[in-house]
């Protein structure tokens, strides 16, 4: 019973272009969403978040969009850089705000 | 200085053995967590502790016993290891409960033979 789904296991993008990573969730009551980034042999690191009262949050090259009616969020990276190559996890804060529930991740590869 | 550290980094052991993984954070955080990333790369919470008190136990088999001797440490002891316990185990910490920004350790890669 996956509450958070990332349907694309991998994505390949050319350097300088836009990367769009997608995430769907099942529960309309979820109210805080996050993206984490993970390099091989390292733990995930927090990237950006958004509250359900917003539909967009921007931080430098990273923008997260939230579509509550579709129960969908996306992460845009522009311009994409080779150092962005990593696994990106979408997550929601659940359990009364006490735990993170993660999606299965999308492996992003930014090619030169 | 590493914010969240775990030892060992790699652990290879036989079925039936008992093993421990240690976690320490030097961030002054009150809340610590254990996550398991299985072979399908699915990252799932196992436990969380706040000020040494167990907050979340996600229906983990009781062969897994977390222990928090103080706020800076959360260790994971696993009894009677099974093949299905092979995974990467991540420790994490945050300032407090309902904190979206969690800081993760580098992971412990456990292989049960």
Compute the count of residue pairs across chains A and B with CB atoms less than 8 Å apart: 55
Which residues does chain A have within 8 Å of residue B92's beta carbon, measured at their own beta carbons?
43
Instruction: Per-residue pLDDT tens, chain B, 113 aa: give them.
Output: 679 999 999 999 999 999 999 999 999 999 999 999 998 888 999 999 988 888 888 878 999 999 999 999 999 999 999 999 999 999 999 987 766 789 999 999 999 99
Is B21 exposed, middle or buried (CB count within 10 Å of its CB: 0-12, 13-18, 19+)? buried
Burial class (CB in 10 A: 0-12, 13-18, 19+), B3: middle
Helix (H) or strand (E) holding A100: strand A99-102
CB contact under 8 A, B107 and A41: yes
Q: Which of B28, B45, B40, B41 shows the shortest CA–CA distance to B91?
A: B45
Nearest residue on chain B to A40, alpha-carbon basis: B106
The minimal CB distance from B41 to the residues A93, A100, A104 is found for: A104
Rounded (5°) CA angle A24-B37-A6: 15
């Amino acid at each position: 019973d996956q509450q958070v789904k990332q349907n694309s296991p991998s994505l390949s993008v050319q350097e300088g272009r836009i990367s769009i990573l997608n995430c769907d969730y099942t529960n309309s009551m979820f109210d805080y969403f996050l993206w984490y980034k993970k390099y091989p042999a390292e733990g995930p690191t927090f990237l950006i978040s958004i509250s359900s009262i917003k539909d967009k949050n921007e931080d430098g090259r990273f923008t997260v969009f939230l579509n509550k009616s579709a129960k969908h969020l996306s992460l845009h990276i522009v311009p994409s850089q080779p150092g962005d190559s990593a696994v990106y996890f979408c997550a929601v804060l659940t359990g009364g705000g006490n735990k993170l529930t993660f999606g299965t991740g999308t492996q992003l590869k930014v090619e030169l | 200085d590493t914010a969240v550290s775990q030892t060992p980094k790699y652990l290879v052991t036989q079925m039936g053995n008992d093993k421990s993984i240690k976690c320490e954070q030097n961030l002054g955080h009150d809340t610590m967590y254990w996550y398991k990333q299985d072979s399908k790369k699915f990252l799932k919470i196992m436990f969380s502790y706040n000020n040494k008190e167990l907050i979340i136990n996600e229906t983990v088999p009781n062969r897994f016993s977390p222990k928090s001797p103080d706020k800076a440490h959360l260790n994971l002891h696993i009894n009677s290891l099974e093949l299905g316990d092979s995974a990467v185990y991540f420790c994490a910490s945050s300032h407090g409960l309902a904190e979206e920004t969690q800081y993760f350790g580098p992971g412990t890669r456990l292989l049960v033979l």
